[in-house]
Structure 1
C-alpha cells in the first residue's frame, strides 16, 4: 500500500538522537546540515573501537545498504575508577527499505551467557546481562573503559539475538539525557500507569536512606520517606527534565517491573524525538543549538566508516511516526526465592529470527501483541 502524502517531519533522533545526538534538521524545504552545523555539537565522541570486536565478516561497509542494526546503551554517570552498568539496552532495527525504525529492549536482568573476553580476563559464564559491560570494562590498575565494556556487551547481545554484527553503536550518559530534556524545556508524554518513585521526593530531592543502608549496595531498596508520584493520564502530561528521567527509571511496584520500565523508556524516546522536531525547537536557533550541544556532550558514537552526517542522510526518510516500539514477552527465572534474573518467552526467538531475516514487518502483522499499545 502506498504511503499517504502527509508532510513528513524526519526522525530527528534518527538512531543516535534517540540517545542524544542530533543527526539533521529538515525544515523550510531545505536540508540544514553539513560539517559546519555538525561542529556545533562536536563534543560528541566518535569512537569506532566500540565496534572493534565485531567478527571479520562484519567489517565496515563501503555504503549503508541492507537492513541496519544499531546497539544503544544507557549508563549512569561514571568515572574511570568505576565500572559502568548498562541500565538500558536497546536495539534499533531499520529494514532494508528504510520504511521504519523498530526499537526493542533487553531487560537489564536478562539471564544470559556472557562470552569469554580475554582483554578483561573474562571467562565464559552466566549472569545478568547488565554485568557484561561492567566485567568487560576492566583495563587494569583499577581503571575501567566504557568503550571496552561496550565491546563485551555487544558480543553478549549478539549471542542473545543472533545478530552477528551491529552497524553502529552508541553509549549515552543518563546525566546527559537530563541536559537534553532541560534544553527542550521538558518533555510531554502520556503516563500510561500510576508510578511511584523509588528515588525522589515530590519536590525532586533525593529520598532519605534507611538506617543501616547508608553504604552503596548494602540494601536492595535503601530509601524511605515521601515519594514523587506520577498519575496515569490518557492525555500527554508535561514533565520537567528531572521528572522525565525519574519516571523512566522506575520499576519497583510496577506489575511487570522491568518490562514496564522498558516500555516507558521507549515511549520517552518517541516523545523526545517528536518534540525535537517541533516548531518550538527547530525554529528557535538558540534552543536548537543548546539541544545539539547537550547531545554532543553526552554521547559516544560509532558508525563504522560512516559519520553522523552519513547516517542522517541515509535515514532521512524515516518519520517519528514510523518508529515502532516492541514488547518482548518474558518473566522471572528461578525456583521459589532463588531469583536468577529474567528470561524471554520462547516466541521471542521467532522475533529475533525475523530481525535477522529482514521480515519484522510481516512478523508483527502475524503477531500484533509484540507491538506496544501506544503504537
Structure 2
C-alpha cells in the first residue's frame, strides 16, 4: 500500500498528506475507501457552473490526475456532547488545510472556537445573522423545525462564515470529524506517540480513564481525581490522546489546545506510516470501520480516492503546523470571545496568494515544531 493510501485510510481525504510510489496499490483499496467514508453535501448548492466534461485520453489517466492546486479544505471537529442529552452539536474544532499549487506542501492552522466573527444570514435555518462566536455558526445553521439539527446544513453556514472571515472564496473539500469516532480510530491504529509540551491536567478524566463525576458548584463542573499529562514523550491510547487534545483550561488556554489538536493529527499521520494495512486485512477492516464512524466528507463531486492520487507526492515533513496568536475580548468586565492578532491578516493573504512558504519563513515562532 502506498503511503498516501495509508494516511488516507486513517484521516480521510482532508488529511491525505503523504504520497507513495505506486498507484497500483491505491487501486487495490480505492473502492473500499470510497465506500467506507460517508460522503454528503456539506457546502450546499454550488454557485458555479458545472465543468464541461473533458475528452477521454488514451490510455485513461488515473482518477484524480486532473486535480489542480492550490487546494483549501475546511475541517470541523464536532463536539456531540452526548453526555448532555438534548444538547445541540457544536463546532468545537475548526481547521483550514492549504495545499500549494504543485501539491507538494501543506499547511494546517486553526481558528479559535470562540473567535468573534460576523455570521451571515442563512435562509435554510431562518437565521438573520449576527456577530457571535464561531462555534455558534454550526448551531445556528443546523437548526431545523421541531427542535432538530442537521449538521450538514450547519456546515454550510460555518463555511460561509469562515470564508467571510478569511477571504477564502471557495473551499475545495470539507470534512466533519466526530470526537467519539476519533477514539475508535486511534484505537484501531494502536495509539499514538506524542511529545507533551506542557503540563496538562484534565478536567474530564480520572487517571484510570473513567469520566469524572459531574458536580454542581465544583471547578469546571466536575469532581474527583484528575488525569495529568507531564512534559515528555508519551505513548497514548485512544482516550488519553483525545483527552489531552481537548483540554483548554491550561496555560495558553484555547490556543494551547489548538496546538495540541494539530499535534495529535500529525501524530496520527506518523503512526499510520508505520503500518502496512494492505498486508493485514483484519486491521484494514478495523481502520475502515472506525473511519466510517469518524469522518463525513464532501469532495465537491470528487471521490476520496481521487485526492489520494492527487496528493501522492506530499511527505509528512512538508506538513507545516501554524498557530495564529490572539487574545480575549472583554466588554464591561465580561468575556465576549477571542480576537486574532495582525498575523492572521498576513497569513490568510499569503494563503490566498499561495505564498505560505515565504510567510512561514518570516514567522518561525508561529510554527509548531513538535
TM-score scaled by structure 2? 0.88
- SS, match of residue 368 in structure 2: coil
* Aligned residue number for residue 286 of structure 1: 282
Structure 1 spans left out of the alignment, 5+ residues: 1-7, 214-219
Q: Which residue of 2 aligns with 1:217?
A: none
Specify the alignment match of 2:350 in structure 1.
Answer: 354
Q: In structure 2, do the counterparts of structure 1 residues 313 and 138 end up closer, same or farther at CA, with 3 Å as the change threshold?
A: same
Matched, 1:52 2:55: no
Residue from 309, 312, 316 that aligns with 2:305: 309
User: Aligned pair 1:256/2:249, yes or no?
Assistant: no
Do the aligned residues in 1 keep the contact of 2:107 with 2:320 (CA within 8 Å)? yes
State the shift of 1:356 in Å: 0.6
Residue in 2 that maps onto 1:231: 230
Superposed CA deviations along residues 232-266 of structure 1, whole A, max 9, x for unmatched, are 00xx31111111111100010x2210000000000
- Closer/same/farther in 2, CA of residues 20 and 230 from structure 1, 3 Å limit: farther
Distance 1:170 1:72 in 2: 5
Secondary structure in 2 matching 1:32: helix
Deviation (angstroms), 1:336:
5.9
Deviation for aligned residue 1:370: 2.3
Alpha-carbon displacement from aligned partner over 1:11-57 (angstroms, at most 9, x marks no partner):
8435x84468896997795632237653267242111x212255x24
- Aligned residue for 1:297, secondary structure, equals helix
1:146 corresponds to: 151
How far, CA to CA, are the matches of 2:15 and 2:355 in structure 1? 28
Match of 1:122 among 127, 130, 133: 127
Q: Residue 13 in 1 paired to residue 7 in 2?
A: yes
Q: 2:244 aligns with which of 239, 243, 247?
A: 247
Residue equivalent to 1:200: 205
Compute the RMSD of aligned alpha carbons: 2.7
Task: Give, in whole Å, the separation in 2 of the partners of 1:95 and 1:22.
Answer: 14
Runs of 5+ unmatched residues, structure 2: 54-65
Query: Deviation digits for residues 147-172 of structure 1, max 9, x if unmatched?
Result: 00000000000011100110000111
| Greater mean deviation of Cα atoms: 178-187 or 22-31 | 22-31
- CA drift at 1:321: 1.9
Matching of residues 86-235 of structure 1 within 5 Å: 86-211=91-216, 221-233=220-232
Please give the alpha-carbon distance, in whole angstroms, between the structure 2 residues aligned to 1:212 and 1:263: 30
Q: How does 1:25-104 map to 2 (within 5 A)?
A: 31-34=24-27, 37-39=30-32, 42-47=35-40, 49-53=41-45, 56-57=47-48, 63-77=66-80, 82-104=87-109
Contact 1:21 1:299 in 2 (8 A): no
Shift of 1:81: 6.3
Check if 1:272 corresponds to 2:275: no
Aligned length: 355
| Counterparts in 2 of 1:226 and 1:58: CA distance versus 1, 3 Å | farther
Counterpart-to-counterpart distance in 2, 1:35 and 1:53: 33
- Within 1, Cα distance between the matches of 2:80 and 2:50? 31
What SS class does the counterpart of residue 309 from structure 2 fall into?
Answer: helix
Pair 119,67 (structure 1): closer, same or farther in 2 beyond 3 Å: same
Q: Deviations over 1:92-117 (max 9, x none)?
A: 00010112110000010101110000
* Residues 7 and 18, structure 2, Cα contact 8 Å, conserved in 1: no
1:195-246 CA deviation, whole Å, 9 max, x = no partner?
0001111111111122467xxxxxx82011210000100xx31111111111
Q: 1:189 to 1:247 in 2, by over 3 A?
A: same
155-164 vs 278-287, greater mean Cα deviation: 278-287
Q: Is the 8 A contact 1:9 1:277 kept in 2?
A: yes
